[in-house]
């Protein structure tokens, strides 16, 4: 579940316009956190504690989703984070792969990251 330094730097570069991003170790991967929430009209509002809005596991970016945002990911064919246990595969429906278009356009990445921040604040 390692994260390469190159991939992490690439994602951080794409998210550089998102305020106050921190990266922490998270189950062998990295968590992406911010102490800002995003209003419905897209404005950043500072809050007291940071929230995890994404994670990187095995050089795959996942965003936090909730019941409001999940259908947008499923419509694009994005999949939830999953891992294997002795009893079978476990799907974690709180984290979905970032849409491919995020990696082609920084503005698109920021749009989806803002939505992930909104979801993270709704489910915390």
- Give the residue among 121, 122, 71 at the shortest CA–CA distance from 96: 71
The whole-angstrom separation of Cα 106 and Cα 51 is: 21
Q: Is 120 exposed, middle or buried (0-12, 13-18, 19+ CB in 10 A)?
A: buried
The whole-angstrom separation of Cα 36 and Cα 58 is: 26
Mean pLDDT for all residues in the chain: 92
Element (H, E) at 115: helix 106-123
The whole-angstrom separation of Cα 79 and Cα 109 is: 17
Residue 80 within a domain? no
What pLDDT sits at residue 47?
78
What pLDDT sits at residue 26?
86
What pLDDT sits at residue 34?
93
Kindly state the average pLDDT of the residues 4-18: 95
Q: What confidence tens digit (pLDDT) does each residue in 104-122 have? A: 999 999 999 999 999 998 8
Residue 74 within a domain? no
Number of domains forming the structure of the chain: 1
Determine which of 28-42, 83-97, 103-117 has the lowest per-residue pLDDT on average.
Answer: 28-42
What pLDDT sits at residue 33?
95
Query: DSSP string spanning 38-96?
Result: E-TTS-EEEEEEEEEEEEEETTEEEEE--TTTHHHHHHTT--EEEEEETTEEEEEEEEE
Residue 29 within a domain? yes
Residue 84 within a domain? no
Residue 77 within a domain? no
Which residue range(s) make up the domain with 51? 5-63+100-123
Residue 108 within a domain? yes
């Amino acid at each position: 579940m390692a994260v390469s330094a190159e991939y992490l730097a690439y994602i951080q570069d794409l998210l550089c316009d998102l305020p106050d991003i921190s990266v922490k170790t998270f189950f062998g991967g990295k968590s992406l956190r911010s102490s800002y929430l995003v209003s419905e009209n897209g404005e950043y509002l500072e809050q007291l504690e940071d929230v995890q809005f994404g994670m990187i596991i095995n050089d795959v970016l996942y965003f936090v989703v909730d019941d409001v945002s999940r259908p947008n990911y499923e419509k694009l064919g994005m999949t939830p984070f999953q891992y294997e246990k002795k009893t079978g595969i476990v799907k974690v429906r709180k984290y979905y792969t970032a849409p491919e278009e995020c990696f082609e356009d920084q503005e698109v990445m920021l749009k989806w990251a803002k939505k992930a921040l909104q979801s993270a604040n709704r489910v915390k």
